[in-house]
């Protein structure tokens, strides 16, 4: 039996016919594909980390374990692990970060990312950013949040000078708390923010850094 599997989904739904509607980026994140598996059952999919929040494990829940005999020879396995290379920089692990301070084009100049990084470090978090600043070469692609980047789900996401384009929001909207700073009161990011600050991020940032420092010292 052959089964369809849609890997790396960013959204799952079920239509009236009971079809699993599987959404995932395709062609390097440039389109969102909607995939169904009408001919085979069960319908199988995997989701990107942080698309859904994992529930607490409940060992008391009854589970039926069915042993399925599998006969595989070496020739059947066409994938070979050649080498495992671990990323070393702290900045690289945005999908696991609990606090993310994310910069957009509104941060104006790559030099200002020093302040964004400082705030992230003081909060015990990591730096990330929008595709706009990846394309400008300010940060590496591994730090890009969004449809064609990484999906994140931290406890706190601070968006600085990020407009809130749908392709960005799809990658961070499952964050538990979102704080947005943008000088445009109509920026779409405010629609999903728990706390919105209308103002110049470059003026507010040093004040935020000082305040975090002050609170830390008080403790
Ligand atoms: C197929 C496709 C895939 C994409 N994938 C992604 C993706 O994965 N991730 C992603 O991020 N984008 C993605 N994009 C791009 C996306 O559409 C936006 O262009 C991008 O997110 C914009 O980045 P930005 O908000 O940093 O910049 P901008 O849209 O230029 O917004 C800058 C914001 O900063 C504000 N601002 C300016 N100066 C200041 C200041 N001093 N203080 C405070 N605020 C200020 C402005 O009001 C504005 O809202 C994709 C686009 C396409 C077509």
pLDDT in tens, 99-111: 999 999 999 999 9
- Give yes or no for residue 23 CB within 6 A of ligand 1: no
Secondary structure of residue 71 in the 3-state scheme: coil
Domains of the chain: 1-48 (no CATH), 90-218 (3.40.50.1220)
| Residues 186-210: tens digit of each pLDDT | 999 999 999 999 999 999 999 999 9
Helical (H) or strand (E) element with 103: strand 99-103
Q: CA 17, CA 39: separation in Å to the nearest integer?
A: 13
- Give yes or no for residue 129 CB within 6 A of ligand 1: no
Q: CA 129, CA 3: separation in Å to the nearest integer?
A: 37
Distance 173 CA to ligand 1 centre (A): 15
Distance 48 CA to ligand 1 centre (A): 22
- Give yes or no for residue 25 CB within 6 A of ligand 1: no
Q: How confident is the model at residue 89 (pLDDT cuts 50, 70, 90)?
A: low
| Cβ neighbours around 4 below 10 Å, total | 17
Burial class (CB in 10 A: 0-12, 13-18, 19+), 144: buried
Residue 91 pLDDT greater than 60, yes or no = no
- Answer whether 202's CB lies under 8 Å from 112's CB: yes
Distance 168 CA to ligand 1 centre (A): 7
Residue 23 tokens read as: 């959404």
Choose one of 25, 27, 50, 130 to mutate for the ligand 1 pocket test, by most ligand atoms within 8 angstroms of C-beta. 130
What is the pLDDT at residue 87?
Answer: 67
Ligand 1 atom nearest residue 30's Cα: 1
Distance 35 CA to ligand 1 centre (A): 28
- Give yes or no for residue 196 CB within 6 A of ligand 1: no
- Average pLDDT of 55-59? 90
- Average pLDDT of 101-124? 97
- Give yes or no for residue 188 CB within 6 A of ligand 1: no
- The reply to whether the predicted model has a pTM over 0.75 is yes
């Amino acid at each position: 039996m052959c089964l369809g599997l849609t890997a790396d989904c960013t959204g799952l739904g079920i239509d009236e016919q009971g079809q699993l509607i599987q959404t995932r980026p395709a062609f390097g994140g440039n389109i969102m594909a909607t995939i169904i598996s009408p001919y085979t059952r069960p319908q199988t999919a995997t989701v990107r980390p942080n698309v859904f929040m994992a529930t607490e494990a409940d060992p008391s829940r009854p589970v039926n374990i069915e042993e399925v005999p599998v006969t595989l020879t070496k020739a059947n396995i066409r994938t070979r692990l050649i080498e495992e290379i671990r990323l070393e920089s702290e900045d690289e692990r945005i999908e696991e970060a609990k606090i993310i301070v994310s910069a957009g084009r509104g941060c104006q100049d790559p030099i200002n990312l020093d302040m964004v990084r400082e705030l992230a470090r003081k909060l015990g978090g990591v730096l990330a950013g929008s595709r706009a600043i990846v394309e400008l070469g300010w940060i590496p692609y591994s730090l890009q949040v969004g449809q064609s980047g990484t999906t994140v789900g931290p406890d706190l996401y601070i968006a600085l000078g990020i407009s809130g384009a749908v392709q960005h929001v799809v990658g961070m909207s499952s964050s538990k708390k979102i704080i947005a700073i943008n000088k445009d009161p109509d920026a779409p990011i405010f629609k999903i923010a728990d706390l919105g600050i209308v103002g110049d991020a470059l003026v507010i940032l040093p004040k935020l850094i000082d305040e975090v420092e002050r609170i830390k010292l008080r403790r």
